[in-house]
Amino acid sequence: MTRRHADESGWQDQAGYSRAVRRGNIITVSGTTATGPDGAALHPGDTGAQARACLDRISRALAALGGGLDDVVRTVVYLAPGASWQQAAQAHRDVLGAVALGVAGDAADVLARCRVLHRLGARHLSFGPPLGPDPVTAIRQLGDQVLPALEEIS
């Protein structure tokens, strides 16, 4: 069974999408912006407040479909030119820090994300068992490419 959630942003009817959709035990949330019902930007010039508005909208959508922030396994953040990634990252950490999202991707992706986490103040990164079709290759990539590069920044 599929359940859909629309919110007050007004974009769903105009663009033909749902804020969030639940099918079985999976909930997906559409791209979320900090806009009011009239389509105007909320908190102009305050990236942190805009990020918090987005995360609050996401949290409400998840709750409406029986989920919560502790169920989140992946987020993607897009910023407009000139927006403060530091403020967006702080809002993300404030709202989702306890969730401890995983870092996934190829060696370059993992390294890039780990570098960002380091810049944000992380002093400990734990790597769990790699998932995917070839865990042995993933372990080799961590050992050969990611960990040596991380040692250089610590």
pLDDT tens, residue by residue, 27-78: 999 989 998 888 889 999 999 999 999 999 999 999 999 999 988 877 878 8
Residue range 90-116: mean pLDDT, rounded: 79
Residue range 128-132: mean pLDDT, rounded: 60
Residue range 102-120: mean pLDDT, rounded: 76
* Mean pLDDT value across the chain: 84
- DSSP assignment of 80-138 equals -TT--HHHHHHHHHHHHGGG-----SSHHHHHHHHHHHHHTT----------SS-HHHH
Judged against a pLDDT cut of 70, whether residue 5 lies above it is answered with yes
Q: Report DSSP state, residue 40.
A: P
| Separation of alpha carbons 111 and 105, rounded Å | 9
Residues 6+ apart with CB under 8 A from 35: 9, 11, 41, 42
Residue range 108-120: mean pLDDT, rounded: 79
* Ordered structural domains, the chain, with CATH: 1-100 (3.30.1330.40), 102-154 (no CATH)
| Separation of alpha carbons 146 and 107, rounded Å | 6
pLDDT of residue 39: 82
Element (H, E) at 64: helix 47-64
What pLDDT band is residue 131 in, cutting at 50, 70 and 90? low
Judged against a pLDDT cut of 70, whether residue 147 lies above it is answered with yes
Judged against a pLDDT cut of 80, whether residue 94 lies above it is answered with yes
Judged against a pLDDT cut of 70, whether residue 101 lies above it is answered with no
pLDDT of residue 98: 76
- Identity at 35, one-letter amino acid code: T
pLDDT of residue 103: 65
